Structure 1
Amino acid sequence: MYVFGDEKIISGDSAKVWAVWSEVERFPEWDPREMENRLHGPFAPGTSGYSKQRGNPGGPYTITAVEPGRMWTAESPLPGGKLTIDHGLEPIRDGKIRVWKRYEVRGPLILLFRLYYGRKVRRALAGTFTALEQEAAQR
């Protein structure tokens, strides 16, 4: 297993941040990493979707958990394994919110994620968190 991710403290209203982060089909409108994201049903556990990030291969995913206003998880199949991505937010004080993403890779592609995708994603997450903050401020 290989785990990586990042977090950032942003400013805003946690309900608005959650609204932006749980509207996955609109990710390409504000997240500089996203090219395409679509769900084949409601934003709820068991719903499948498709996601494509810039510079990375796209693929299917399934929402496996949702804690409204707090966290959601998506899982994607990998050859011989899977990728699990947790998206979280936690109001901390005075309009500040800790947002985070945690990636867990299982299977034979761990080395590829450790040497290439993990670094690339970690570098891009700061931009994603900043864009999330800006989009929530506009709503």
Structure 2
Amino acid sequence: MKQAFLFLSLCAVINSSAQQTNYHFSSTDSTTASAEKIWQIWTNVPDWENWDKGLKDAQLFGTFMVGTRGTLIPDQGPKSKFIITEIVPGRSYTFKTRIPLGRLVIKRTLEGKNARTYFTHDVQFTGILKKILGNKLGKKYRLILPETLKNIRQMAETKEQLINTL
């Protein structure tokens, strides 16, 4: 039993450090706003640029569902295409975009507990150039991710307050 606990503890340490490199990182924030408000903000792709300061533009070509494609124009770098690859309605979604010899995978998840909504952005560069591209691109995005989540929180809370005052 003690060995199993040590093994699981080691796995947790390895996993948490893997998610805090420039090629795989995440950030979580929480709000009193409902999960539905966060979900509405997240799934309104043309408005992503309003809260994600790493984007100049984002477009979705169809309904927000698995298989739908879109485009992103980052603040630095070329326009890229993305595809929504996974959705758990109201809880999480994943989209992917190609990078040289790999992919950039963005997963966004929601969880409600203790009268708060916790929301997480997980960013992962994959492929043989993941460390190089992570250091070139991921480092900056890793630094602005907490501000991005703060922007989402503020938007959700403002929308929630407007509804509550009506």
CA distance in 1 between partners of 2:78 and 2:122 (Å): 19
Partner secondary structure for residue 104 of structure 1: strand
Deviations 1:102-135 (A, max 9, x none): 1222213212233232221111111111110111
Greater share of strand residues, 1 or 2?
A: 1
Corresponding residue of 1:100: 120
In the TM superposition, what is the alpha-carbon distance from 1:64 to its structure 2 partner?
A: 0.5
CA distance in 1 between partners of 2:112 and 2:32 (Å): 9
Q: Is it true that 1:13 corresponds to 2:10 in the alignment?
A: no
Corresponding residue of 1:125: 145
Partner secondary structure for residue 106 of structure 2: strand
Report the RMSD for the aligned CA atoms in angstroms: 1.8
Q: Is it true that 1:137 corresponds to 2:154 in the alignment?
A: no
Unpaired segments of 5 or more residues in structure 1?
A: none
Q: Could you tell me the TM-score, scaled by structure 1's length? A: 0.89
Corresponding residue of 1:61: 82
Q: Could you tell me the TM-score, scaled by structure 2's length? A: 0.75
Decide which moves more: 8-17 or 65-74: 8-17
In the TM superposition, what is the alpha-carbon distance from 1:79 to its structure 2 partner?
A: 2.0
CA distance in 1 between partners of 2:24 and 2:131 (Å): 12
Structure 1 moving runs of 4+ over 3 Å? none
CA distance in 2 between partners of 1:92 and 1:46 (Å): 30
2:68 to 47, 59, 68: 47
In the TM superposition, what is the alpha-carbon distance from 1:93 to its structure 2 partner?
A: 1.5
Corresponding residue of 1:36: 57
The aligned length equals: 138
In the TM superposition, what is the alpha-carbon distance from 1:77 to its structure 2 partner?
A: 1.2
Greater share of helix residues, 1 or 2?
A: 2
Unpaired segments of 5 or more residues in structure 2?
A: 1-17, 160-166
CA distance in 1 between partners of 2:32 and 2:136 (Å): 31
Partner secondary structure for residue 118 of structure 1: helix
Identity among equivalent positions (%) equals 26
Corresponding residue of 2:46: 25
